Structure 1
Amino acid sequence: MLNPVHLRTLVEVVRTGSFAEAARRLGYTSSAVSQQISAFERAVGVTLFEREAHSIRPASAALLIADRGGELLAALDGFEHEIRAMVQGLRGRLRLGTFPTASARVVPHAVARLSADLPDAEIRLDEAEPDDVLPLVLAGDIDIALVYSYDLVPVTWPDELTVLPLLDETLLVLVPAGHPAAKVSVRLEDLRGERWIASRDGTSGATCLVRLCAAHGFAPRIAFRSNDYDVVQSLVSAGVGVALVPALGYKRSQAVHAMPLRQKPLRRHVLAVHRTANTNPLLRDALMALRSACLRTEDEFTHPVHRQQAP
């Protein structure tokens, strides 16, 4: 096995033509340089320098090794630089998992900041619902994921995860513009007879709607289902039903009126999760970027958690 330290010494001796000058440049003694060259010769099994009383002459093998070795050392130096940059969080790979509404409203700003601050870092995105993305985080396939939980659908997170609250969203009732209930806020009982548009059966959003209506003494008459909030809002604007959506899923429109519940507003909570044991140095930068991105979404219905907790 060739020693890269000895290789570097050989390259410097060939470059300077002198053990003494190579020693001066490398910070060694002449004796140490001579010993390293001898060890290198034993490793390759050939004499590399013709030694005379006051000079040395490199053999052809030494010239060849120095030429190729210089390339290898340059590559090694670059590799070491990449490792140092990765450890310092300046380079590396970050795998980010996210859900659709966060992908549209939060993630682009976070990725833009990361790309500006860490131009050499590789950022990969995967989009999935929390139930699908959590196993990927636990398996180490994703470094950090955005997930959510609803007030009426609490979630217990695995002990292996660190969970950081980022954003609270008010749940909004969507009705067509001009609907009799289109006011500043609405009582859920006033929508008892409406047709509802909900997310897929079994999702947290659909479960939240069913539990909310049950608490007010009725079961929602769900006519349409879609996990795409653009589709949900389009159906509302077409006048075929009403819906309950998180604030990130609502886009302001003249055809749709959005309002919170008159009772205590319900919220969906956006959180960042990662394995506590994950040592990726980019995690800290990613969390800072996500927090900053959440600030950009702040309005009357979205509330960055760390802004609320700031002294």
Structure 2
Amino acid sequence: MLNSGRLRLLALLDTLGTVRAVADTLHLSPSTVSQQLAVLETETRCRLMERAGRRVRLTPAGLLLARRGREILDKMAEAEAELRALNGEPIGIVRLGAFQSAIFTLAVPAAERLAVTHPHLHLELTELEPHESGSALRSGEADAIVTTTDYTGLSWGADLDVVPLGSDPVVLVLPRGHPLASRTSVNLTACAEETWACDRPQSYMADLTLRLCRESGFEPRVACRFSNYLMLLRHVGSTGSIALLPALAVTPDHAVVTRPLDPPVNRNVAAVLRRSTPRRAAVNAVIAALRERAQAPILAEPREDASEP
């Protein structure tokens, strides 16, 4: 008889590629993961893995079981939710991954509303940037993600359902009193001599900043790299650096001003699910709450420099 926990380990191995990555994800030791996978081979009477140098890879039987295993695990979750929700009320845990600037503007307000409307539904939030969330979704670590469909690192295949939430402008963030703050919009060619504050390398915003600067004819001179937008905004406000950020990330409590780009740059925000994930009542309720919140006027508007008359 197949064990759901061991099926999950095999499915994660297919997605993440190494036993150590599976162990790190589940906070287990690599030896424990290897032992459980060996038990699964005994249970199925099939060779599921083979050595490839120092790593292991799945055999054709292993690949088949890993992919069927995801379907089985999804169906089990669906059955459990249906049994616990015979009264039709959304119930259970929904794991939502969202990029940093969407956590407090979209996800947390949705969670607060759901706590009132559906008190037996628990929304579990995880910060996942666009370059991280796709693998979490496909591995089953997240039931849904809020991401940007402009991120080219995720393959937008037929296995995913995309629910548009809206468009979020990318803005230039400047310290108060900066000369460029006198403009209504800014072409990045005017920023070639500036010092930049950026996100981590290979992240969505770091790659976007680099691409836009190069298209404007220069390499950005980077003073800092912070994955935390709060620290990045403080760096801009206190040191005179500048940055590109999504408008959702810029809150009014920082000593910065924002200006639209010329030409404008927008990112398309969406909720994404695996097509094989059962659209159980709890997941549907979360998506509905996100769509309702996205319709509110939550985007940061370009603000005037407080020092200007």
TM-score of the superposition, structure 1-length normalised?
0.65
Aligned to 1:146: 146
Question: Percentage identity across aligned positions?
Answer: 30
1:190-225 superposed Cα distances (whole Å, 9 cap, x missing partner): 111001111111111111111111111111111211
CA contact (8 A) 1:197 1:232 kept: yes
Q: Note if contact 2:247-2:299 (Cα within 8 Å) is conserved in structure 1.
A: no
The answer to whether the 8 A contact 1:114-1:286 is kept is yes
Q: Secondary structure at the match of 2:109?
A: helix
Report the alpha carbon displacement of residue 150 of structure 1 after superposing the two structures with TM. Answer: 4.1
Native 8 Å contact 1:175 1:257 kept in 2: yes
User: Which amino acid in 2 is paired with 1:157?
Assistant: W
Please give the residue correspondences for 1:220-235 in structure 2 after superposition, counting only pairs within 5 Å. Answer: 220-235=220-235
The CA distance in 2 between the partners of 1:254 and 1:101, in whole Å, is: 15
Counterpart for residue 136 of structure 1: 136
Counterpart Cα distance in 2 of 1:254 and 1:139: 37
Is the counterpart of residue 298 in structure 1 residue 294 in structure 2? Answer: no
SS at match of 1:119: coil
- Displacement of 1:278: 1.4
Specify the alignment match of 1:163 in structure 2: 162
How far apart are 1:126 and its partner, in Å? Answer: 2.1
CA distance in 1, matches of 2:277, 2:186: 45
- Alignment partners' CA distance in 1, 2:94 and 2:194: 45
Q: Closer, same or farther in 2 for the Cα pair 1:272/1:222, shift >3 Å? A: same
| C-alpha distance in structure 1 between counterparts of 2:121 and 2:221, whole Å | 49
How far did 1:256 drift?
A: 1.1
Deviation at residue 146 of structure 1 after TM alignment: 1.0
Q: 5+ unaligned residues in a row in structure 1: which ranges?
A: 1-79, 303-311
Which one-letter code corresponds to 2:229 in the other structure? Y
Question: What displacement does 1:162 show?
Answer: 0.5
Structure 1 residue ranges, 4+ long, deviating more than 6 angstroms after superposition:
none
1:60-116 deviation per Cα after TM superposition (whole angstroms, max 9, x unaligned): xxxxxxxxxxxxxxxxxxxx9972625834323222122221112111111122222
**How far apart, CA to CA, are the structure 2 residues paired with 1:110 and 1:169?**
18
- 1:271 paired residue number: 270
Match of 1:112 in 2: 112
Task: Determine the structure 2 residue equivalent to 1:5.
Answer: none
C-alpha separation in 1, matches of 2:235 and 2:100: 18
Partner of 2:176: 177
The question of whether the paired residues in 2 share the 8 Å contact of 1:86 and 1:281 is answered with no
Structure 2 residue matching 1:181: 3-state secondary structure: helix
Residue 301 of structure 1, CA deviation: 4.7
Instruction: Give the match for residue 289 of structure 1.
Output: 289
Please give the per-residue CA displacement for 1:29-62, whole angstroms capped at 9, x wherever unaligned: xxxxxxxxxxxxxxxxxxxxxxxxxxxxxxxxxx
Deviation of the 1:300 alpha carbon = 6.3
Quick one: which amino acid aligns to residue 219 of structure 2? A
Amino acid at match of 1:169: D
Q: Count residues with an aligned counterpart.
A: 221
What are structure 2's unaligned runs of at least 5 residues? 1-79, 303-309
Change (3 A) 1:267 1:155: farther
Change (3 A) 1:253 1:300: closer
Inter-partner Cα distance in structure 2 for 1:90 and 1:300 = 32
User: Does structure 2 retain, via aligned residues, the 8 Å contact 1:169–1:301?
Assistant: no
1:146 partner amino acid:
V
1:205 is aligned to 205
Give 3-state SS (helix, strand or coil) of 1:147's partner: strand
**What is the CA distance between 1:159 and its match in structure 2?**
2.6
SS of 2:230's equivalent in the other structure is helix
Greater Cα shift, 283-292 or 93-102: 93-102
Partner SS for 2:166: strand
The separation in 1 between residues aligned to 2:131 and 2:84, in whole angstroms, is 35
Aligned residue runs from structure 1 range 40-59, under 5 A: none
C-alpha contact (below 8 Å) 1:150/1:267 kept by paired residues: no
TM-score (norm 2): 0.65
Structure 1 position 155, deviation (Å): 4.7
